[in-house]
Amino acid sequence: MTLLKSWVDSANNADTDFPLNNLPYGVFSVTDGDARCGVAIGDMILDMYAAEEQGVIDLTDEPLFDVPFWNELMEQGPAVWAALRARLTDLLAENATERGLVEPLLVPMADATLHMPLVVSEFTDFYAGRHHATNVGTMFRGAENALPPNWLHIPIGYNGRASSVVVSGTDVRRPWGQLKSPDHDKPAFLPCRRFDLELELGAIVGMASDGPISVDEADAAIFGYVLLNDWSARDIQAWEYQPLGPFQAKATATSVSPWIVTKAALEPFRTNTPEREFELLDHLKDTRPMLYDIDLSVTLAPAGKKASTIAETNYNQMYYSAAQQLAHHSTSGCPMNVGDLLGSGTISGPTKPERGSLLELSWGGKEPLTLDTGDTRTFLEDGDTLTLAGHAAGTGYRIGFGTCTGTILPALSDPYAR
């Protein structure tokens, strides 16, 4: 696959995240206008509300873009997803005959505010990166018990909260919580001292199901992917996580990137899950490559200072694909809904610079990181801005996710003050 050329010049730059091959879906507003659906192309956004109202996009009897979220399009199913992508590709291609109709519907991205691209129905987060699970397990339970006995057989997850999912750019306030350090004999209610990020990819379910589905059916049901930062309070987590797993440690916020990169755009970048030491049960087996080759990075900028790259890894490091996670999620008969968001789990590679959390990068706070600015970090400090970025690299083009950022606000002085 090579670059598909567009009449939007900025979409033809080799380093744009948003060439014609990508066409990711977001929600934007300009000045005091209403939020509406848009499609990124180069440094512009195609206004889908206006495109539909003017008949340039006309896929269904009922309008799809009179609402500021993509769930209605998702509910139409894969045939309409494909028809929309084909229509957008025609309208924006180099020699498009309808350029004159489309050009007035473009808005400069620099003038736009980006919003949540979907209504998140429910949020589930997995723990499916082998290097991450091994690192964290080693710190929490020792190298001998790093991976729990089930880990190589099922993708471990927990049911999170849709209510705490926020769009990139939303500030994140350091939480308070109950913690207990091993050198204190009593728990205390304090501001989190070990606030952390988790580099993840989120899969968005685009087709509902009601009963067990196969890995192939699960793959077909996935609409697209976003960058996802699962903010984590490690000191709260260490005290609360047994026996039911994380709860308040993961409930402050989860940030997602504003652009949904469709499964269709990522198709040329499929890759296999890794070699396994135990054969998976049949209902969880891959039938074809289900992961994607997506380069990922994390930068940290202390307040008022320049950003340093603290981690670089790839989504191909996952042990389980989103399709396997979704198939496993459905095995009990759990109904899955359009707009469900599945976090991949923290993505870490085998070497230290590939670790997708500060917990791993600073090895539980024992090995502080030195940033390019000379500042050191074990965990996040107030005012730090974290930015995730990712793209799949093609020849002369890339399928980018844009960025997913968040800045840490100080804890409230008294969380119960009224």
Residues at the contact surface with Ca ion, assessed by CB under 5 A: 125, 198, 230
Smallest distance from Ca ion to CB 127, Å: 7
Smallest distance from Ca ion to CB 156, Å: 11
If the CB atoms of residues 230 and 240 are measured against Ca ion, the closer one turns out to be: 230
> Which one, of 328, 310, 323, 321, lies nearest residue 385 by Cα?
310
Smallest distance from Ca ion to CB 246, Å: 8
Smallest distance from Ca ion to CB 287, Å: 27
If the CB atoms of residues 105 and 233 are measured against Ca ion, the closer one turns out to be: 233
132 is catalytic: yes
Alpha-carbon 299 to chain mean position: 16
If the CB atoms of residues 26 and 137 are measured against Ca ion, the closer one turns out to be: 137
Smallest distance from Ca ion to CB 184, Å: 26
- How many Cβ atoms are within 10 Å of 381's Cβ, its own excluded? 16
**Closest chain position to Ca ion (CB):** 230
Torsion of CA 58, 61, 62, 68, to 10 degrees: -20
Cα distances from 104 to residues 22, 86, 100, 308, in angstroms, run 21, 20, 7, 39
If the CB atoms of residues 198 and 384 are measured against Ca ion, the closer one turns out to be: 198
Selecting among 131, 132, 329, 391, the annotated active-site residue is 132
If the CB atoms of residues 262 and 362 are measured against Ca ion, the closer one turns out to be: 362
Smallest distance from Ca ion to CB 283, Å: 24
Which residues are designated catalytic? 132
